[in-house]
A = this chain, B = another copy of it.
Amino acid sequence: MNDVLDSLTGQAAALAEGSETPISLAERALDRAERKADLNAFVALDSPIVLDQARAAAERRLRNAPRSLIDGIPIAVKDNFLTRDYPTTACSGALPWEAGGQDATIVSRLRDAGAIIFGKTNMHEWAYGATNSTSSFGPTRNPHDPSRITGGSSGGSGAAVASGIVAAALGSDTGGSVRIPAAACGIYGFKPSYGRASRHGVLALSWSLDAPGPLTRNLPDIQLLLPYFFGKDPKDVTTANSKELGPMPRKVEPRLLRLYGKGLECTSEVEKAISGALATSPCSLENCEITSVSSYFAAWETILHCEASSYHASQPANKRSGYSPVTQAHLEAGEQITAVEYLHAQSIRAHFMTVLLKELPAWDALVLPTLPVVAPRQGEDWQLFGGRKVTTQDSMTWFCWLGNLAGLPCVTLPVANPGGDMPVGMMLMGRPGRDEELLAIACRVQEQLKEYGSVE
């Protein structure tokens, strides 16, 4: 399955040397999408739209005038990013939010660079869940085992990249929605620091937690895509201080801090995989307990529910009537939370950031498993680990919400799983705004993992 054409960098090289054309790449992706239709990764994909873009890119390549390295490369887009050429539905039974007409800022930047906006990927309805089991288009299936879920909410993007349909896809992440499907499907996912990536045109879930991010087959591909995410966007005030992607600074010996404590348990299978990966790490490693995890988690959930209910309160009733009962119930619950409770959650959040950024021993990256379990089977309501019985939903966001609550850049990379056949992801979290440093540390850990020879 590890074809050189599965990665962006591989496709870019093939285009540059002429062994592939934008049209051959587009046809390859369309063909694969058709053959892997059972994964239910795409909710909108139109061959003529794809081929039109491919032909335009091919012309530019023929004239030796490509707009960028990724000119002519297909990229899939989660169905909560507005796109000029496809409707955007957030996989809700509601009317499409937008029937087309404008692109999200990131989509527009990629399109300007010549990327082929390939199609819209399946997602958990309104991104309000992490299993991808609730979608008006039905659940996605995990390419490693179709009887298992992809995780979500960017599950279609995870399946599309992990199955080799496209080399890269866009996702959004409020409590792990990029990292969860990336880990569950055995690929890479990156959530930028809060406020670093433009959210204009990405339908909101919880505006103080949301961040868009890429899912890819390797780390260099993330680096190739981040310039289209970063930098000021006049249409998104939260990016007012966002810097363009800078050089990746290399620390002599990055300090990794592995967090543990009550509320941070995982299965022994996952524990073994993470410990094995860390044993190969070239970085200094310390273990550190954090307490009150359940109170921080409750703060994240409160903020999420209040902001989601606030956002959806402004939706017209005819759209809201199409939401699934579980999304309706979430929103109604969020409407009951008082402002004092919301503000209390924000104060817990501020305390959490102080703990992470000022009170822990000095660190360059925090380490956790991305998920406490491997991808659950479709229809499983509960997961058992660490002596707990946890809903499948909560087990998906188990570790990931920490990065959203604190606004940290986060990356998940696949590590070897000596105890099973399903992928395991390791998560590294960096200091706010230092996305480049995090990526540099991840590359360093990754090189060592390759030498160790344990990642497929």
Contacts and interface: CB of A to CB of B under 8 A. Distances in A.
A306 B344 contact: no
Interface size class of A (residues with CB under 8 A): 10 to 19
Interface in A301-332: 302, 306-307, 309-310, 313
A342 interface: yes
Contact of A344 (B302, B313, B341, B342): B313
Interface in A327-355: 334-344, 347
B343 A306 contact: yes
Contacts of A302: 339
Nearest to A337: B339
Q: How many copies does the complex hold?
A: 2
A341 B306 CA distance: 10
A3 B95 CA distance: 73
Contacts of A336: 338
A317 to B, nearest CB: 15
A413 to B, nearest CB: 33
A334 to B, nearest CB: 7
Contact of A340 (B309, B340, B344, B347): B309
B339 A334 contact: yes
A302 B343 CA distance: 13
A313 B340 contact: yes
A40 to B, nearest CB: 33
A309 B344 CA distance: 10
A336 B337 CA distance: 10
A339 B313 CA distance: 12
Contacts of A339: 302, 306, 309-310, 334, 337-339, 341-342
A287 to B, nearest CB: 30
A338 B302 CA distance: 12
Interface string A290-307: 000000000000100011
A339 B208 CA distance: 14
Contacts of A310: 339-340, 343-344, 347
A299 to B, nearest CB: 13
A369 B310 CA distance: 35
A336 B339 CA distance: 8
A227 to B, nearest CB: 26
A339 B344 CA distance: 11
Nearest to A237: B350
Nearest to A342: B339
A262 B46 CA distance: 53
- The 7 closest A-B CB pairs, nearest first, are A339-B342, A306-B339, A310-B343, A337-B339, A310-B340, A339-B339, A309-B340
15 contacts: A306-B339, A307-B343, A310-B340, A310-B344, A310-B347, A313-B340, A313-B344, A334-B340, A335-B340, A336-B338, A337-B340, A338-B338, A339-B339, A339-B342, A342-B342
